[in-house]
Amino acid sequence: MHDFLDNLANHQYRKDSKQSHPMWSLGWRLEKIAKDIDGTLKHYECSDRTGRYKKIVIEYDHHSKE
């Protein structure tokens, strides 16, 4: 699963004529992945000193430290 998520994160998804999977298609796939691993899909709008960007994160396997 880790390799799949790395490959997904490194893939450039764009909504243009050359891309067969627009962003809306990516959204439901990420929701399914999050559900399959009992995780949560989160969307962030971020900014730093050089610009603004959006980030999609799947959080999973949360547990307390012992």
CA distance 34 to 42: 10
**pLDDT over 80 at 30, yes or no:** yes
Q: How far apart are CA 5 and CA 25, in angstroms?
A: 16
Structural domain boundaries in the chain = 38-66
| pLDDT in the model for residue 16 | 47
Q: What was the pLDDT predicted at 51?
A: 95
Amino acid 13: pLDDT: 45
Positive or negative torsion for Cα 14, 16, 17, 18: negative
Q: Which residue has the higher pLDDT, 52 or 6?
A: 52
- pLDDT, one tens digit per residue, over 8-29 is 555 544 444 455 555 667 778 8
